[in-house]
Homo-oligomer: A and B are copies of this chain.
Amino acid sequence: MDSPASNQDYVEDLVKKARAASVRLATLPTLVKDQALLAMAEGLLAKSEEILSANERDLETFGTRREQEAMADRLRLTPERIAEMADGIREIVKLPDPVGETIKLWTRPNGMKVGRVRVPIGVIGIIYESRPNVTADSAALCLKSGNACILRGGSEAIHSNTAIAAALAEAAEKAGVPPGGISFIERSDREVVLALLKQDRDVDLIIPRGGESLMQTVTEQSMIPVIKHDKGICHVYVDADADPAMAERICLNAKVQRPSTCNAMETLLVHQTVARTWLPELVRKLSEAKVDVRGCPKTCQLSPEAKPASPEDYGREFLALILAVKVVKSMEEAMEHIARYGSRHTEAIVTNDYARALRFLREVDASAVMVNASTRLNDGYQFGLGAEIGISTTRIHARGPMGLEELTCSKFIVLGSGQIRE
Residues of A with Cβ closer than 8 Å to B? 23, 26-27, 100, 106, 108, 112, 114, 117, 119, 121-122, 200, 204-205, 219-220, 223, 225-227, 243, 246, 249-250, 253-254, 257-258, 339, 348, 361-363, 365-374, 376-379, 382-384, 394-397, 399-401, 409-421
- With contacts A243-B418, A369-B414 known, what are 5 further pairs, Cβ within 8 A? A366-B411, A367-B412, A371-B415, A373-B414, A373-B418
Residues of the B chain whose Cβ atoms lie less than 8 Å from the Cβ of A227: 396
Residues of the B chain whose Cβ atoms lie less than 8 Å from the Cβ of A226: 225
A395 touching B409, Cβ below 8 Å:
yes
Given contacts A108-B382, A369-B413, contact A205 B376 (CB under 8 A): no
Residues of the B chain whose Cβ atoms lie less than 8 Å from the Cβ of A396: 121, 204-205, 225, 227, 396-397, 409
Given contacts A114-B383, A205-B396, contact A119 B243 (CB under 8 A): no
B253 touching A421, Cβ below 8 Å:
yes
A371 touching B420, Cβ below 8 Å:
no
Report the separation of the CA atoms of residues A223 and B217 in the bound assembly, to the nearest whole angstrom: 10
B414 touching A371, Cβ below 8 Å:
yes
B362 touching A246, Cβ below 8 Å:
no
Report the separation of the CA atoms of residues A409 and B399 in the bound assembly, to the nearest whole angstrom: 8
Q: Which of B108, B366, B374, B409 contacts A419 (CB 8 A)?
A: B374
Report the separation of the CA atoms of residues A345 and B379 in the bound assembly, to the nearest whole angstrom: 35
Instruction: Write the chain B residue with the least CB distance to A249.
Output: B420
Number of copies: 2
Q: Which of B250, B395, B415, B420 contacts A418 (CB 8 A)?
A: B250
Residues of the B chain whose Cβ atoms lie less than 8 Å from the Cβ of A26: 363, 365
Given contacts A205-B396, A362-B100, contact A372 B418 (CB under 8 A): yes
Smallest CB separation, A12 vs chain B (Å): 17
Residues of the B chain whose Cβ atoms lie less than 8 Å from the Cβ of A121: 395-396
Residues of the B chain whose Cβ atoms lie less than 8 Å from the Cβ of A409: 395-397, 399
A249 touching B418, Cβ below 8 Å:
yes
A339 touching B412, Cβ below 8 Å:
no
Report the separation of the CA atoms of residues A68 and B181 in the bound assembly, to the nearest whole angstrom: 48
Instruction: Write the chain B residue with the least CB distance to A359.
Output: B27
Q: Which of B100, B371, B413 contacts A416 (CB 8 A)?
A: B371
Report the separation of the CA atoms of residues A379 and B421 in the bound assembly, to the nearest whole angstrom: 10
Instruction: Write the chain B residue with the least CB distance to A109.
Output: B384
Report the separation of the CA atoms of residues A418 and B121 in the bound assembly, to the nearest whole angstrom: 37
A414 touching B225, Cβ below 8 Å:
no
